[in-house]
C-alpha cells in the first residue's frame, strides 16, 4: 500500500514537471497574442486589485518599520556627531590654552631682553593657586627658596608688575598682588610726569589709584605709569625702577581737594595669570627685608 502511494506521488511529480516544461516551451514559442499570454494577462488583471489592496493594507506597517529604522539610525548618528563635537571642543580648548601660555612666555622673554630686570636673575614660575576672593589679592607659584626665591622679590608678568613675594617655602611662594588692599607701589607717570603711590581702588580690584598727585600737574589719559624705584639711602621701594604698572584711564580733581584722583588700569592681566617671573638675586635695597 505504501509503495503504491510513493509510486503515485512520483508519477504526479513527473507529470507536473513535463506539463511545466511544455507550457514554458509553448509560451516562449508562441506570439504575444497566443492563448498562454492571454491567460497570463487575465490572471494578472484578476489578481492586480488583490495585490494593490494588500499593498495598501500593509503600507502603514511598512512605513512604521521604516520610520523606526530611520529614527534609530538618526539617533545613532546624532550621538556620534555629539561625541565628535565634544572631542573637537576639547582639542580646541587645549590648543587655545597652549597658545595663551606660549604668548605669556614670549612676553616674559621680551621683558628680559628689554633690560628692565638688569641686575636680577629672573626665575620663571607657573601659577598653581589663587586667592578664593574677588579681590585677587594673592597667587601661589611653583618656585620657592630652592630656586633662589626670597621674601620681597619683585614678581612680573610679560605685561608688567604683578606684585611681590610675601611668603616662601622650599618649593612654592606666595605673591601679594598689586590689587591686594594692603599694596602700595611708588610710581611715576611717563615721560617726565609726577610721582605718587599706586594703590588699589576700594571696591574695584581692577583699578588702581595714583595718589598724592598735585591738582595742577597735567596728566594725560593713556599715559604710562611705571615703578619709581626710589631710595633715600635709608629706605627704598621694594621694586626696581621702570617696571610697567599700567596706564592712566582717568584723572579728576574735586573742588575742595588738593590732589588729583588718577585712575590707572593695571598692565598685567591679574585675572588670567599662568606664568610669572620672580626677580631674584637683585641688588640690596635699604630697608627692604630679605
Q: Kindly report, residue by residue over 185-229, the tens digit of the pLDDT.
A: 999 999 888 898 999 987 677 789 998 888 888 888 999 999 998
The more confident residue out of 102 and 164 is 164
Share of the chain above pLDDT 90, in %: 27
**Is residue 189 assigned to a domain?**
yes
pLDDT of amino acid 128: 93
Average pLDDT over residues 32-49: 56
**Is residue 63 assigned to a domain?**
no
**Cα dist from 73 to 62, 77, 78, 80, whole Å:** 16, 6, 9, 11
> pTM of the prediction?
0.62
Q: Are 275 and 260 in contact (CB under 8 A)?
A: no
- Full residue range of the structural domain in which residue 230 is found: 185-269
**Is residue 210 assigned to a domain?**
yes
14 pLDDT above the threshold of 70? no
Q: What is the mean pLDDT of the chain?
A: 77
pLDDT of amino acid 20: 61
**Is residue 276 assigned to a domain?**
no
Average pLDDT over residues 34-62: 58
pLDDT of amino acid 171: 95
Q: How many domains does the chain have?
A: 1
**Is residue 198 assigned to a domain?**
yes
pLDDT of amino acid 63: 67
**Is residue 255 assigned to a domain?**
yes
Q: Which region among 40-49, 108-117, 248-257 has the lowest average model confidence (pLDDT)?
A: 40-49
Q: Are 175 and 190 in contact (CB under 8 A)?
A: no
Give CA–CA dist 236/111, Å, rounded.
23
97 pLDDT above the threshold of 50? no
pLDDT of amino acid 277: 92
Q: Are 278 and 120 in contact (CB under 8 A)?
A: no
260 pLDDT above the threshold of 90? no
How many CB atoms lie under 10 A from the CB of residue 100?
13
82 pLDDT above the threshold of 90? no
**Is residue 212 assigned to a domain?**
yes
Angle between helices 35-114 and 2-29 (to 10 degrees): 80
- Quote the cell numbers at residue 143: 618656585
Strands 204-214 and 154-156: unpaired
Amino acid at each position: 500500500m505504501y509503495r503504491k502511494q510513493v509510486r503515485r506521488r512520483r508519477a504526479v511529480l513527473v507529470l507536473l514537471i513535463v506539463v511545466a516544461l511544455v507550457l514554458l516551451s509553448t509560451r516562449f514559442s508562441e506570439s504575444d497574442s497566443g492563448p498562454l499570454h492571454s491567460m497570463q494577462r487575465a490572471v494578472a488583471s484578476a489578481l492586480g486589485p488583490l495585490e494593490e489592496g494588500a499593498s495598501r493594507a500593509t503600507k502603514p506597517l511598512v512605513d512604521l518599520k521604516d520610520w523606526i529604522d530611520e529614527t534609530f539610525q538618526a539617533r545613532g548618528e546624532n550621538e556620534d556627531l555629539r561625541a565628535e563635537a565634544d572631542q573637537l571642543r576639547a582639542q580646541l580648548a587645549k590648543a587655545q590654552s597652549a597658545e595663551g601660555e606660549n604668548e605669556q612666555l614670549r612676553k616674559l622673554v621680551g621683558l628680559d631682553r628689554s633690560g628692565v630686570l638688569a641686575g636680577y636673575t629672573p626665575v620663571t614660575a607657573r601659577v598653581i593657586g589663587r586667592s578664593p576672593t574677588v579681590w585677587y589679592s594673592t597667587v601661589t607659584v611653583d618656585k620657592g627658596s630652592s630656586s633662589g626665591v626670597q621674601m620681597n622679590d619683585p614678581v612680573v608678568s610679560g605685561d608688567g608688575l604683578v606684585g611681590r613675594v610675601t611668603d616662601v617655602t622650599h618649593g612654592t611662594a606666595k605673591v601679594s598682588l598689586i590689587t591686594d588692599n594692603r599694596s602700595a607701589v611708588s610710581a611715576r607717570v611717563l615721560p617726565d610726569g609726577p610721582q605718587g603711590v599706586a594703590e588699589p581702588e576700594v571696591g574695584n580690584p581692577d583699578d588702581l589709584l595714583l595718589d598724592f598727585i598735585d591738582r595742577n600737574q597735567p596728566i594725560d589719559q593713556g599715559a604710562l605709569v611705571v615703578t619709581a624705584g626710589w631710595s633715600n639711602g635709608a629706605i627704598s621701594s621694594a621694586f626696581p625702577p621702570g617696571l610697567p604698572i599700567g596706564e592712566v584711564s582717568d584723572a579728576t580733581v574735586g573742588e575742595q581737594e588738593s590732589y588729583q584722583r588718577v585712575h590707572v588700569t593695571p598692565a598685567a592681566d591679574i585675572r588670567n595669570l599662568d606664568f610669572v617671573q620672580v626677580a631674584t638675586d637683585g641688588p640690596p635695597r635699604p630697608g627692604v627685608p630679605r
